[in-house]
Amino acid sequence: MKTQIKAKSLGLDHPSVKKVIGIAEEIMSQNKVLSIETLYNRAKKRLKFPKNGLLSIIQLLLDKKILIEGSKFSKGTILKNQCRKRLYNFIMNYPGVHFSILRKRVLCDDLGNVGSSGQLIWHLEMLLRFNSIKKTKVGNYTIFIPFDMDEEVGKQCFLIRDNINKKILNLLINQNSIKKSDVYKLINEKREIVYYRLKNLMEQELILPLKESDKEILINSAKRDSILEVLEKSKDK
Amino acid sequence: MTLNWNIEVIFDFAIAFAGLICTIITYLPPKTQKITSLNFIRLSIFGMFIFMFFDGLAFLFVNNFIARLTGLMLIPTTLCIIIGVNYTIRETYYSKGFVLVFGLSILFLFVSLQPNATIPSTESGYLRIEWVGLFNIFGILFTAIAVLYMFYWGIKTWLNAPILIKKEASLFFTGISITTILGLVFYFMYLFESFYILISNLLILIGVIIFMVAILKEPKLLYILPFTVHRILVKDREGAPLYDHDWVESNITETIFTGFLNAVQLMSQEVMDIGGLLDINLEEGILIMRESKFVTVGLVATKSSKLLRESVIKFTRDFEEKFERELKKSIKDTSQYKDAYDLIVKHFSNFPYKIVKSKKQPLLLTGKYVKIPLELETKLRSVFTDEEEYEAIKTELIKSPLSMPTEFINLYNDLKHEIDQLSGEDVKYLNSNQSNEE
């Protein structure tokens, strides 16, 4: 006996529709390419539905966006997702950005609702997996930089984005050495805030203690050029 | 009285019978029977039935008067197919072709009244009525025009047919091609050798049968329109999107499109009252906006059409009726309006769906229907508590490399751990870092 499908009562809860979805799931779980052709052929063979009825079901699944156009991701296609593209562009424009900043600045929809951390990390992982960006550690912080960027430059970008760090480095770049205890006075900032920065900058070897006296600090001459370059770029922004 | 039965009479009656069946078939199955273009095309097919029937009668009774009437039947047949195609393409009966054929019709009528327009003659061993002189030339001209218009309709239908019914559309086009182009070629050859009229008639018969089979398989072929509907969006009076449906792939988000509609609506408030309909010409299409008591409906298509405008009006009316309770309560949750798809089917079923362009195009199941291992599902559910977000990620998961879920969970744990471990000083530092981004 032929199975009858009445187009008017078709909905996602209809048993025939569920059976076709089941076959689509089966094709996907077998890692085979799901297409109208494969789905139609298998469903026709298995379910023996009349052709028009089966096509109506497939049309319903397409219309209701249960079946969507798409294939496996590639480096070229991952940026088709608007949110991911925004994230990628932000990292390109602000290399060395921290996760918490990305969450607040990028993962907002058009109405200003902040997305979840999970969603952000998913997109970050996708960009990492397809070598669009890379991550590195600066002290306690994981930062994200463009894939082609040197990690050292990426770290400097992160550090120099902080205004006080920038002031310290600007100060040191033109001087041979400065007493640690004088820095906060020279840049007119609170002592403890400046000491925290100096500790970070020393850990990252952007500044070094003077050999003769560890109370004095100077810029790391090996990194001087790249620091200068990042400082210049930060002025442009 | 002896009847002049011969093979051509039999063919004529067979084609006439097929034409009659064809007219009935085009009337019965289509859901949307009030399409003007289809009415005229149907009349044209009916005209062909009368033409062939009269042709058979003229030969059967060897009657010159009926033979002239047969020729004159080409006038309404040709005019109807021209009007049908004109309505399909631009929703008006008028075109230069129509004026030309209408003018020629008067001449054709005049010529048919002249003596010796038709004469009995014996060809290929049987008696028939031959059209001669100007009457014959006009007959050939009208036949050729009708055939070419019919072929044009066939090719337009075939080209615009959605992928799911492309096979039937190809069958439909094959039938029309055999009837029109091949039939016409042999009809021209008949001018040199009368035997070819039999082949022409045979091809017309075969073509009409194929055409009928295609229509029976897929009645939608009769009303496929040569333009594309891109998108319809329903928003409430406060500007929040309630329902969105695409016919073609779109990169514009629902929110942006709603914003666009809101802006257009704001600018056109003076001309658009409640119940009003507005057409806005875009560079490569048209935006039709319909405002009602609770909602505004915006539809983008490649060109405007009366049928489309009527569909928008009816869709809006039904949408308000169907979701009256939700609209009165100002519910903005789009999931509450998902059933509006039934209204899309009801009012826009004759607009082809073009997101999928080939039967071999890879497809994916959306997240809700993707089966993933239970352990992974539990982990993902703990990360994505929002159901919609979870489904969106699942949809991406199936397109991702196999190692993706594990790597994602690792990164998630690392970053979560990092945030938890940051000291007050670190957080202050990050906040300062962030303030420089703003």
Query: Could you tell me if residue B311 is inside a domain?
Result: yes
Question: Within this chain, do residues B372 and B330 fall inside the same structural domain, yes or no?
Answer: no
**Does pTM top 0.80 for this prediction?**
no
- Phi-psi region at B306: left, alpha or beta (left = phi > 0; alpha = psi -120 to 50): alpha
- Strand segments, DSSP code E, in B83-208 are 118-123, 126-131
What pLDDT score was predicted for residue A36?
Answer: 82
Q: Is residue A18's pLDDT more than 80?
A: yes
Question: Within this chain, do residues A127 and A166 fall inside the same structural domain, yes or no?
Answer: no
Question: Within this chain, do residues A23 and A96 fall inside the same structural domain, yes or no?
Answer: no
Question: Within this chain, do residues B272 and B183 fall inside the same structural domain, yes or no?
Answer: no
What pLDDT score was predicted for residue B384?
Answer: 84
For residue A5, what pLDDT band results from cuts at 50, 70 and 90?
very low
Query: Could you tell me if residue A140 is inside a domain?
Result: yes
ipTM of the complex: 0.74
Is A63 part of the contact surface with chain B (CB cutoff 8 Å)? yes
Among residues B168, B201, B223, the one where a domain terminates is: B223
Query: Could you tell me if residue A2 is inside a domain?
Result: no
Count of domains observed in chain A: 3
Q: Is residue B211's pLDDT more than 80?
A: yes
Distance between CA atoms of residues A91 and A94, nearest Å: 5
Is A72 part of the contact surface with chain B (CB cutoff 8 Å)? yes
Backbone angles phi, psi at B119, to 5 degrees: -140, 145
Among the ranges given (A25-39, B121-135, B143-157, B262-276), the one the predictor scored with the smallest mean pLDDT: B262-276
Among residues B286, B313, B348, the one where a domain terminates is: B348
Query: Could you tell me if residue B359 is inside a domain?
Result: no
B385 vs A contacts (CB less than 8 Å)? 116
CATH code at position A208: 1.10.10.10
What pLDDT score was predicted for residue B145?
Answer: 94
Mean pLDDT of A61-76: 74
Query: Could you tell me if residue B187 is inside a domain?
Result: yes
Among residues A96, A125, A149, the one where a domain terminates is: A149
CA angle in degrees (0–180, nearest 5) for B274-B275-B281: 95
Dihedral sign of CA atoms B416, B418, B420, B422 in order: negative
Beta bridge partners of A207: A219
Is A70 part of the contact surface with chain B (CB cutoff 8 Å)? yes
CATH code at position B324: 3.30.450.50
Mean pLDDT of A133-150: 89
Question: Within this chain, do residues A58 and A83 fall inside the same structural domain, yes or no?
Answer: no
Among the ranges given (A144-148, B156-160, B172-176, B426-430), the one the predictor scored with the smallest mean pLDDT: B426-430
For residue A6, what pLDDT band results from cuts at 50, 70 and 90?
very low
Question: Within this chain, do residues A25 and A46 fall inside the same structural domain, yes or no?
Answer: yes
Q: Using alpha carbons, select from A235, A160, A144, A153 the residue that is nearest to residue A201.
A: A160
Question: Within this chain, do residues B234 and B206 fall inside the same structural domain, yes or no?
Answer: no
Is A67 part of the contact surface with chain B (CB cutoff 8 Å)? yes
Beta carbons of B242 and B334 less than 8 angstroms apart:
yes
Question: Within this chain, do residues A24 and A96 fall inside the same structural domain, yes or no?
Answer: no
Among residues A149, A166, A195, the one where a domain terminates is: A149
Q: What is the pLDDT of residues B320-362, one digit of tens each?
A: 999 998 898 888 887 788 788 888 877 887 676 665 666 777 7
Question: Within this chain, do residues A121 and A141 fall inside the same structural domain, yes or no?
Answer: yes
Q: Is residue A107's pLDDT more than 80?
A: no
Query: Which domain does A100 fall in, by range?
Result: 78-149
- Phi-psi region at B124: left, alpha or beta (left = phi > 0; alpha = psi -120 to 50): left
Q: Is residue B176's pLDDT more than 60?
A: yes
Q: Is residue B435's pLDDT more than 60?
A: no
Distance between CA atoms of residues A35 and A46, nearest Å: 16
Q: Is residue A186's pLDDT more than 70?
A: yes
Question: Within this chain, do residues B31 and B147 fall inside the same structural domain, yes or no?
Answer: yes
List Cβ neighbours of A198 (8 Å cut-off, separation of 6 or more): A168, A180, A183, A207, A217
Question: Within this chain, do residues B202 and B247 fall inside the same structural domain, yes or no?
Answer: no
Tell me which residue in B218, B399, B418 faces A73 most closely, judged by beta carbons. B399
What pLDDT score was predicted for residue A209?
Answer: 87
Distance between CA atoms of residues B58 and B73, nearest Å: 13
List Cβ neighbours of B253 (8 Å cut-off, separation of 6 or more): A82, A110
Query: Could you tell me if residue B197 is inside a domain?
Result: yes
Distance between CA atoms of residues A91 and A97, nearest Å: 7
